[in-house]
Amino acid sequence: MREHRPRDMSPIELGFTPQRAVPWLNPGLLVATGIRTVLSDLFGAYLDKREMQAVLGSDRFDHTGATELWLDYTADVGDGFDATYSIASLLARPVLEVGDADGAALELPRGEVLVLGGDQVYPTASGTAYGNRWKGPYRAALPVRTSRTPTLYALPGNHDWYDGLTAFLRLFAQGDCAGGWQTRQQRSYFALALPHRWWLYAVDTQLDVYIDKPQLRYFQAAAADLRPGDRVILCLSRPTWVISQQDPQAYDSADYFLRTVVEPTGARVPIMLTGDAHHYARYAGDGPDGRGRQLVTCGGGGAYLVGTAHLPDRIAVPPPTTLTRRASEPQHYELVGTYPTPAHSRRLGWSVFTRLPWRNPGFLVLLGLMQTLLMFAMRTAHGRLLNGPIVIAVTAVVAGTVLFAVVQALQRGRLRHWVAALLHAVPHVALGVVGTAVWSSLPLAQLPNPWSILLAFAVYGPVVALLDCWIVGIYLVTASRFQVNVNELYAGLGIEDHKSFLRMHIDADGSLTIYPVAVDRVGRRWRADPGAPPEAPWVVTDEPIHPRLAEAPIIV
């Protein structure tokens, strides 16, 4: 019997509902995400399922059967269909043709192993969300399992953890297939044996609490096979080498793992990989022996772009300010590769004035409602500044601007977040004062009620909402220069283009080459392809996607 192939793009044919990119600054989502972040910080350790995974299988997975191996890595994949499926379709191609800096074409075979580096679903984890935002698109890109299709492993990110890892373990840890992608892991972490004494360790360091005992025992057992000179690719959940420059304790878990699990064996960790930050960035270290470690962030698998302009040019890892007494000796690293470039990132940031209102209509409605109510409060005050409605309205404005940055302030304890939030309130209140004066001078405001009220919501509200949205845009662009609300700036932009992933090759001589693949523009016009062979993608585009290298191949 012929394998089912969708005849059109309807959910009933596809078996899932293609999703729009998440509008991250819409009010309901802002509140819900903030609550989940706070709850995760307060109660995450009590809901940690890693301790319970001790009863699950403890296999290490062998991929040493050939003299060479192609391996793919992507992260932050589970957002809107256009970006997620664009990357999935490139990963699924048997051979990927990419252009290098000189315009020459390279042919890169598909990875025999695909590693997902975290955040396979947004904004929160559930079976339905995974089906629509990850499993459905990836199955459509590679519908049928064959002897040549990849094995898939997944490391959870913070969004996978928002339900306590329940849906993640059901999807990735039961040996099921997602179309042609075969899962094998039984825990939220895993160890892979690769050719020529290469290894890949994916450590679940989520929640920033500790590395649990069952996980440590798992990797200690895996490390028993390490020998001096072996090389380990270490995958983590977050780019803690960058985060630690602001939060010195962020790198402690990774450093502890290196010191206690890997280094006693004599093996080296020449590469550390992570997602979480939605861009490509590579730090290179000199190293005491001339063989510096590469610290690579590649979270461009589908989520909104986060620029690279805020990244420090030079970092020390672990930071000298860490309080850990037995921390490793700090090593210095230089930022040597980014996608997009810092200059391009700054240019993209200025598009906030058009993209913020267009991508987040609910946020625009909230601003219009807030400013209209503030105007009503000021008009009815009759010159009394301590009038009850004014106090309530101004307090609501200040509280809203503080909440915009309070999560970062609570997490990192930085005074500048509070200062920025309070200063941000001033232009919003000033707009209310000026807007009230202008509206009160217009004939429309002199009409009897309910007409003046209706016209205020119909005319004043939309205009002042756009002006207030531009104030937010000015704040976000300015604050991002001081490392405040950087993520919120790019979340508001919601840029789906500028995606990236890694294709890696362990050669017959044991060398590892990393090809950082960049996609400047994702696909947007899709159609079903019902007449294609069973193993061909269900969905294709008439606008070709052009992958290229973000930088020259990195040879380890």
DSSP 255-282: HHHIIIIIGGGT-EEEEEEE-SSSSEEE
State residue 290's pLDDT score.
Answer: 42
Question: pLDDT tens digits, residue range 255-310?
Answer: 999 999 999 999 999 999 999 999 999 999 876 544 689 999 999 999 999 999 99
Domain boundary among 491, 520, 539: 491
Q: Is the pLDDT of residue 55 over 60?
A: no
- Residue 513's SS3 state is strand
323 and 358 in a single domain? The answer is no
Residue 11 domain flag: no
Token output for 92: 């699924």
pLDDT-derived band at 384, boundaries 50, 70, 90: low
Q: Domain total for the chain?
A: 2
Cis-peptide into 123, omega within 30 deg: yes
Question: Strand 151-154 relative to strand 113-116: parallel, antiparallel, unpaired?
Answer: parallel
Q: Give per-residue pLDDT as tens, 215-244.
A: 999 999 999 999 999 999 999 999 999 998
Summarised one tens digit per residue, pLDDT across range 71-96 is 999 999 989 999 999 999 999 999 99
207 shares a domain with 324: yes
Residue 452 in domain? yes
| Mean pLDDT, the chain, whole residue set | 88
- If asked whether residues 117 and 245 sit together in one domain, one would say yes
Residue 37 included in any domain = no
Give the helix/strand (H/E) hosting 191: strand 190-194
Share of the chain above pLDDT 90, in %: 59
Pick the last residue of a domain from 448, 463, 491. 491
pLDDT at 149: 84
Mean pLDDT of 344-373: 92
Residue 527's beta-bridge partner residues? 540
Q: What is the pLDDT of residue 340?
A: 96
- Is the separation of the CB atoms in 171 and 216 below 8 Å? no
Could you tell me if 283 and 310 lie in one domain?
yes
In the predicted model, what is the mean pLDDT of residues 324-341? 91
For residues 48, 50, 51 and 55, what is the CA-based torsion angle, rounded to 10 degrees?
A: 140
Task: For the beta carbon of residue 302, count every other beta carbon within 10 angstroms.
Answer: 32
Class of residue 196 by CB neighbours under 10 A (exposed 0-12, middle 13-18, buried 19+): middle
Say if residue 361's pLDDT is above 70.
yes
Is 20 inside any structural domain? no
* Kind of pairing between the strands at 280-285 and 331-339: antiparallel
Range of the domain at 535: 59-348+497-555
pLDDT tens-digit map of 107-139:
999 999 999 999 999 988 889 999 999 999 999
* 356 and 449 housed in the same domain: yes
In this structure, what DSSP letter does residue 443 have? G
**Residue 8 belongs to some domain of the structure:** no
CB 198 within 8 A of CB 213: no
Residue 193 lies in a domain: yes
User: What's the pLDDT at 259?
Assistant: 93
**One domain, residues 380 and 286:** no
Residue 158 lies in a domain: yes
As a whole number of angstroms, the distance between CA 290 and CA 463 comes to 60
Tokens of 280: 């490509």
What's the CATH code of the domain at 135?
A: 3.60.21.10
To 5 degrees, how large is the angle CA 299–CA 300–CA 305?
105
Task: State which H helix or E strand residue 515 sits in.
Answer: strand 512-519
pLDDT band of 426, cuts 50, 70, 90 = confident
Q: Which residues are bridge partners to 106 per DSSP?
A: 98
Q: Same domain, yes or no, for 206 and 140?
A: yes
For residue 175, what pLDDT is reported? Answer: 86
Residue 136, φ and ψ in degrees, nearest 5: -60, -55
Say which range, 26-35, 410-419, 431-440, 499-508, has the weakest mean pLDDT. Answer: 410-419
Is residue 181 within 8 Å of residue 134, measured between CB atoms? no
Whether residues 356 and 329 fall in one domain: no
The verdict on 361 and 333 lying in the same domain is: no
Domain boundary among 491, 508, 530: 491
Mean pLDDT confidence for 468-485? 90
In a domain, 30, yes or no: no
Q: Are residues 293 and 431 in the same domain?
A: no
Same structural domain, 467 and 507: no
Say whether both 292 and 171 belong to one domain: yes
The per-residue pLDDT for 386 is 63
Q: Is the pLDDT of residue 390 over 90?
A: no
